């Protein structure tokens, strides 16, 4: 069976699908629900980049990137970053490569915009996603953002290390 992974913009036509995506109950404390992400995307339209993840016609997840933010939040603009803000893979769809696809898609968009690193944050702890991110090549920065650890992935021209697959058609503004 061939899978066709793609991102779609969240629109009025697929809004209910988006807000219906739920992570496993034991993960709900680790990531905000999609509806909160979409509210934030509405409030920060120039920063947020929300997308649904589809495998064929089946919705399997949601991601939201942040683009060119003042990460320090001090108004000086000395630390501008882009990265993964949210990643919600549906409860029954995890461990199938969709998270990797999401990170690779955000990396491609950041590269397309001229960026060279992808920043993300995660809740620490054994039940958190640290192993997932470190396995994709993220390195801890030693920073905390609130109660979350900060990790970064340096972006070169290549896709993610460790067996990443090439994702034709990911780059470009049509995502």
What is the pTM assigned to this prediction?
0.86
pLDDT at 134: 97
**pLDDT for res 72:** 86
Q: Are residues 102 and 170 in contact, defined by beta-carbon separation less than 8 angstroms?
A: no
- Residues with pLDDT less than 50, the chain: 1, 160-175
**Cα–Cα dist 30/1, whole Å:** 32
Rounded-to-integer distance, Cα 136 and Cα 150, Å: 14
Residue found under tokens 């070169």: 156
Q: Is 110 helix (H, G, I), strand (E, B) or coil?
A: helix
* Residue 147 φ then ψ, to 5°: -100, 15
The predicted pLDDT at position 165 comes to: 35
């Amino acid at each position: 069976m061939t899978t066709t992974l793609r991102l779609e913009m969240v629109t009025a036509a697929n809004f209910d699908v988006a807000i219906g995506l739920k992570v496993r109950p034991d993960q709900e404390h680790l990531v905000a629900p999609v509806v909160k992400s979409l509210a934030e995307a509405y409030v920060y339209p120039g920063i947020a980049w929300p997308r649904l993840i589809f495998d064929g016609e089946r919705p399997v997840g949601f991601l939201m990137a942040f683009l060119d933010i003042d990460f320090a939040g001090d108004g000086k603009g000395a630390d501008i970053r882009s990265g993964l803000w949210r990643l919600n893979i549906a409860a029954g769809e995890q461990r199938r490569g969709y998270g990797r696809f999401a990170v690779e898609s955000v990396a491609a968009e950041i590269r397309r915009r001229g960026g060279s690193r992808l920043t993300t944050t995660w809740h620490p702890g054994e039940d958190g996603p640290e192993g997932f991110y470190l396995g994709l090549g993220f390195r801890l920065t030693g920073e905390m953002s609130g109660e979350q650890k900060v990790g970064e992935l340096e972006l070169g021209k290549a896709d993610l290390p460790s067996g990443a697959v090439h994702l034709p058609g990911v780059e470009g503004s049509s995502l």
